[in-house]
Structure 1
Amino acid sequence: MSRVFAKKSWQTIALLLISAIVAVAVAACSTSISGFSGGGDLAIGSKNFTEQVILGELLAQHIENQTDLKVQRRLNLGGTFICHRAIVAGQIDAYVEYTGTALSAILNKKPISNPQKVYQIVAEEYRQQFNLEVGQSLGFQNTYAIVVRNEDAQKYQLKTISDLARYAPEWEAGFGYEFISREDGFPGLSDTYNLKFSSSPEIMDLGLMYRALVNNKVDAIAANSTDGLIETLNLVVLEDDKKYFPPYEAIPVIRQETLEKYPELAEVIGQISGNISAAEMRQLNYQVDGEFRKVKNVVAEFLAEKNFGQ
């Protein structure tokens, strides 16, 4: 097989892989809000990407395994602001957020690099402003990650975002809407690294970003560090050598009113805290995005292996 044919074959497989993600996400999220119009003691929500749907299902299954409560799944709701409005309004009772996102996007505060300080600020402000309780970290961070193709990283010896800045004026980038607009996203990153691309970064969702990168439509994307597709597609995460991004610890957020009604939830959700590593989260994401498995099955197996609460 010629080298050119092999390259085209690999790209075709990658394209089919990425194109299937949207369909898989829809099938995997059969427990989304449209499937649960009524019933249940409490509702668990999630944002609209694979990791969030997995974490929402994980919370739901663990609560059902450890209590007699019936849980509605209102997964795949939308972005950060939609989920935040939903929990404040009582449309959901809990979901998983990230500390850096809560600090910058919800509380509109400048990014801070100290994880403990970020957590303390978020916990106090959420309690005072929104009557929400913030649990301890689930055990991993999912920070923003600037990702490039492996062949480009080797050709230009790219290891850090500072390295990328030297070539960026001739490159195209693809970023999500939140990353473009948030305080802890591209505006601050651009200032910190003097990162200027050949044109304004294209705004696209996560699935399209990976597809565009693999097909050479863009040269750099802002992904999530725990995305399973990074390893699947042999991509390279550039080091944030100036430590721009704040910590993004995964934290459960629960309504105080819900905890008062079901006080056992604090202990049950706390059983998960500190027990999910970044490597484990990346593998869970890969099983859904790379192996096309159903979220509920992936989560059930993981909970059985970890045996939380036993």
Structure 2
Amino acid sequence: MRTNRALRVLLAAAAVLLAGCGLQSGGSVPLPVGPGSIVADPALRGVPITVGSKDFTEQNILGFIIEFAMVAAGAEVRDLTDIQGSNSLRDAQLSGQIDIAYDYTGTGWVNYLGNETPVPDERAQFDAVRAADRAAHGIVWAAMAPMNNTYAIATSRRTAERTGVRSLSDYAELLAADPAAAATCVGTEFSVRQDGYPGMARAYGIDNGRAQKRIVQDAVVYQATADADQCAFGSVAATDGRIPALDLVLLEDDRAFFPKYNAALVMRAEFADAHPEVARIMTPISRLLTNESITELNRQVDVEGREPEEVARDWMVAQGFVTKE
């Protein structure tokens, strides 16, 4: 299955290149499903729907969940998951290369809409993004999930016990006193996003120039932080399955800097208005996407080595939304 996954990634990359030329492209849905509680909807029968996602485990799982739901509803679904980075996914959506994806309210509010101050309440953050993005870009947000994949700084349990660092304020104090003791592995995107390290440093009075940051691929951060050989701390996504598997501890964001990152459906307004059935079908699915459930699905991929499409399909079957074919 890993060979199939690699081929899918190559096809998705090629599709994004074609999208830059103004062409629609995409692959087929990787696994067949049949109807469960989701049955063929006459309004969606044969409707072409291209589903996108970003290029990390959770996003691929969420993308496949949409695909399997839409297949069961009777749509003609194209797979354009695994697009590299938030901005590329957003550009593909704005240009009409994809019709629907799950994205995160914090990313919408800060990265896409350019706000610097997050809205503390999850629902209020969603409502603010939904209103502003439709008005500014004709983008509809719908079916918000309880899961909140916020950014966080993590450390190993033994490092937390040794240093006494339990919060980001503790981390800032340790860094000021001994920068080497607070060496931090930072993911590439987190290192430059204003809702990432630069903004966190401002909020907690961290001297960015003194901070010993090692910018690495996101996948490297978790094991490096657990081993504590390269880094005592690391930037993580709060719902990543490797956090419990590696016994990492999330530092408390005691100044409430990080925005809420609830997953929600994102669609262009003309698509959402033409096909209201999509949000109706996806809403009960989104309700079941809690931090606990998505962390477990992520763990099955990143720790057990399962394919994200299999994990997504099996979860949809277990919840009764679809059946295996």
User: Higher helix fraction: Structure 1 or Structure 2?
Assistant: 1
Q: How many residues align?
A: 287
For 1:173, which of 165, 184, 192 is the aligned residue? 184
Distance of aligned partners of 1:25 and 1:237 in 2 relative to their CA distance in 1, 3 Å threshold: farther
What residue is the counterpart of 1:70 in the other structure? 76
Q: Which of the numbers 158, 164, 175 marks the counterpart of 2:165?
A: 158
Q: Secondary structure at the match of 2:53?
A: strand
Residue pair 1:228, 1:289 contacting (<8 A) in 2 also: yes
**What residue is the counterpart of 1:81 in the other structure?**
87
Give aligned-pair identity as a percent. 28
Kept in 1: contact 2:156–2:232 (CA 8 A): yes
SS of aligned partner of 2:8: coil
What CA distance in whole angstroms lies between the structure 2 residues aligned with 1:28 and 1:298? 17
What is the CA–CA distance in structure 2 between the aligned matches of 1:254 and 1:297, rounded to whole Å? 25
Q: CA RMSD in A?
A: 2.5
Residues 52, 98 of structure 2: 8 Å contact kept:
yes
Instruction: For 1:117, give the aligned amino acid.
Output: A
Residues 285, 85 of structure 1: alpha-carbon distance in 2 compared, 3 angstrom cutoff: same
Q: TM-score, normalised by structure 2?
A: 0.81
Contact 2:297 2:311 in 1 (8 A): yes
Please, which of 228, 232, 248 is the counterpart of residue 261 of structure 2? Answer: 248
**Are the equivalent residues in 2 in contact too, given 1:98–1:250 (CA < 8 A)?**
yes
- 2:130 counterpart letter in structure 1: A
Offset at 1:192? 2.0
2:63 partner amino acid: G
Give the letter for the 2:213 counterpart.
P
2: CA distance, partners of 1:210 / 1:54: 19
Q: CA deviation at 1:132?
A: 1.5
Quick one: distance in 2 between partners of 1:64 and 1:239? 41
SS at match of 1:42: strand
Q: Is the CA contact (8 Å cut-off) linking 2:27 and 2:79 kept in structure 1?
A: no
SS at match of 2:153: strand
Partner residue in 1 for 2:104: 98
Counterpart of 1:110 (choices 111, 116, 119) is 116
- 1:120-169 CA-partner distances (Å, limit 9, x unpaired): 22101221222211013122100111011221111112221112222222
Residues in 2 aligned to 1:38 and 1:306: alpha-carbon distance in whole angstroms: 26
2:218 equivalent to 1:206: yes
In the alignment, which of 47, 57, 69 is matched to residue 50 of structure 1? 57
Change (3 A) 1:37 1:83: closer
Encode CA deviations 1:152-206: one digit per residue, 9 max, x unaligned: 1111122211122222222221212332222222122112222347545222221
**Counterpart contact for 1:230–1:236, Cα < 8 Å:** yes
Measured in 2, the distance between the counterparts of 1:214 and 1:238 equals 14
Aligned to 2:19: none
Counterpart CA distance in 1 for 2:103 and 2:93 is 11
For 1:30, the equivalent position in structure 2 comes to 8
1:108 and 1:177 mapped to 2: Cα distance?
20
Q: Deviations over 1:54-88 (max 9, x none)?
A: 000111111112x1112111111011111111000
The alpha-carbon deviation at position 243 of structure 1 amounts to 1.2
Q: Under a length normalisation based on structure 1, what TM-score does the superposition of the two structures give? A: 0.85
Q: What is aligned with 1:194? A: 205
Quick check: 228-237 or 30-39, which moved more?
30-39
Partner of 2:40: none
| CA offsets 1:41-60 (integer angstroms, 9 cap, x no match) | 11111111100000001111
CA distance in 2, matches of 1:105, 1:29: 30
Give the counterpart of 2:130 among 123, 129, 145: 123
Aligned counterpart, 1:224 = 237
SS in 1 for 2:286: coil
In structure 2, give the amino acid aligned to 1:118.
Q
Question: Structure 1 residue 252: deviation in Å?
Answer: 0.8
CA contact (8 A) 1:226 1:281 kept: yes
Equivalent-residue separation in structure 2 for 1:268 and 1:135 (angstroms): 11
- Correspondence for 1:6: none
Amino acid at match of 1:204: V
